[in-house]
Chain A
């Protein structure tokens, strides 16, 4: 592998139902930082069926170029045709960096592509920068410059590791949604589009889609909420979430939950905060009846203000809470909601 042949920062621009996922703009935003450090450009790779009209939106958020792979086989996400499309782009264009969102799609696509093109993949990155590897010179070992340094949490968020991929290209990372900053949208920018189709021949790896079942939901995405009222196993039942909903209503917030609540069937997966759910960064996070498994804490500890209510004073959630109250949520919440209503009325 001649590493010098590999140039440019590429991002996978995930779309579903011909709507670009916000992660694509976040990756372009971070990609611009990296490209500036390297003196190169950002190329978005848009894969789907009848998606070319989405390319300008990627340009508006900063993509210097958009490669469009458009084929009827790509209408719905399936691992094989998408992996073939993205791996073929890698083989054809030889990017030095390839970023993919750590979404349910990206975490399926990324490993398959990295294995196909034989390179490393760092999962769920929360920080990306250009630097030297090894970070400090080591006698007898070449220190390589302009490497992608990929930082990610491990052990359920208890350790952080910075990973490099010095001898293989592209340097691939999946990136946690909601962490990187989008650039400001420049309306009216037109994309520099390049069409590419490697050909799609269905084989045993093309799975058949029998049915697509969309969750019927009109709830706010918890990743966008400024105030989250989050409940855990301690809430006790699906019905008892009413107490949290009333509190959320008076604050203009949204209800979310821990994994235990999803496992118990009280709330749907899309409301789950944590390592296997969503990473949230609200202004205020109420952790109610949540003990605070580290997988949960990893998904919410970046909140500006954390208020925890738990009857167990040894609950780990208190180790990250700004304000911890040891007490019975069933008694505290109704009083709190009433007081907030009164406080609002007085304003």
Chain B
């Protein structure tokens, strides 16, 4: 079985986030990480590899620096890494990004494509379903469980108040929730492999069956009219009190605001 996992390098907005005094995000202090939903997708692929035997290829689109996440994926157990990078691909919205990745995926044999549900920088959850549309294969998004049965995948697909157990014939695309699993750590041997591994680098010319009019900033139907750092309302009072005083304080404030 051949599995392709699409991963993205993103700024780490989780955990150690710092705000500037004006309430905006202090980007300079942020590290980059493998997007959490994508990492869960990779872990799901590696578990299928452990269980059934599979070749796992990781693909990313981004700046040359995004090679780092491919090496991290190889250190976790992926077999091959492909970096799609080209200046003409920059500024892509989800339409152009999904066209780019679909163009790359047309060069690869696959039974199953896994993407994360969404990236923590854009939060759109669009690229996975859009890739499946361009490749004309079924999509099951929001996967919280995944197994293989013959030539099909069986997926628990999460909705707000329920889940559906769905069966789709491969090839198909599944988008993974980070609740799907706990991703494994890199292994020492894997890290060694990752340093040795040859990363395949593809540019515009390597994309199959994609028109220039669908790529990069120029191929993006959506355009940014304006962007700004969000102005937050800012903090109110912060007090350190013993439990009885703290309770008095809260009750007093709730009375003041006519909550009680």
Using CB atoms and an 8 Å cutoff, list the residues of chain A in contact with chain B: 16, 76-80, 83, 103-105, 107-108, 110-112, 114-116, 118-124, 133-135, 149, 153-168, 204-215, 217, 227, 251, 262-263, 269-270, 275-276, 283-284, 293-295, 301, 305-307, 309, 313, 316, 318-328, 331-332, 335-336, 338-340, 343-344, 347
Contact = CB atoms under 8 A, between A and B. Distances in A.
Contacts of B133: 83, 111-112, 115-116
Nearest to B234: A319
Interface stretch (B66-74, B76-84, B91-99, B192-200): B91-99
Contacts of A331: 243
B230 A158 contact: yes
A120 B251 contact: no
Contacts of B230: 153, 157-160
Nearest to B139: A79
A163 B222 contact: yes
A323 B253 contact: yes
Given A160-B228, A294-B13, A320-B233, A209 B249 contact: no
Contacts of A76: 164
- A-B pairs, top 8 by smallest CB distance, nearest first, are A120-B221, A120-B222, A324-B238, A115-B133, A322-B236, A111-B126, A123-B124, A111-B129
Contact of B225 (A162, A269, A344): A162
A238 to B, nearest CB: 16
A163 B141 contact: no
B188 interface: no
Contacts, number: 277
Tell me the dominant secondary structure on chain A's binding face: mixed
Interface in B197-233: 220-230, 232-233
Contact of B11 (A155, A276, A343): A155
17 contacts: A108-B142, A111-B130, A112-B129, A120-B222, A155-B11, A160-B227, A162-B224, A162-B226, A166-B223, A214-B161, A214-B162, A269-B158, A270-B160, A313-B238, A321-B238, A327-B243, A336-B246
B221 A165 contact: yes
Nearest to A226: B259
A228 B225 CA distance: 36
Contacts of A154: 121-123, 227
B138 interface: yes
Contact of A305 (B120, B137, B257): B257
A161 B227 contact: yes
B195 to A, nearest CB: 31
The residue among B11, B227, B238, B244 with the most chain A CB atoms within 10 A of its own CB is: B238
A340 B166 contact: no
Contacts of A163: 222-225
B108 interface: no
Interface stretch (B1-9, B18-26, B42-50, B51-59): B18-26
A167 B221 contact: yes
B255 interface: yes
B168 to A, nearest CB: 4
A135 B225 contact: yes
B28 interface: no
Contact of B164 (A112, A114, A159, A212): A212
B169 A204 contact: yes
Contacts of A159: 24-25, 227-230
Contacts of A157: 230
A135 to B, nearest CB: 5
Contact of A217 (B161, B169, B241, B244): B161
Contacts of B244: 335
A213 B121 contact: no
A120 B139 contact: no
B13 A295 contact: yes
B186 interface: no
Given A119-B221, A295-B13, A339 B248 contact: yes
B33 interface: no
Contact of A323 (B125, B126, B139, B249): B249
B165 interface: yes
B166 A210 contact: yes
A210 B165 contact: yes
B253 A79 contact: no
Given A124-B123, A325-B249, A335-B244, A209 B166 contact: yes
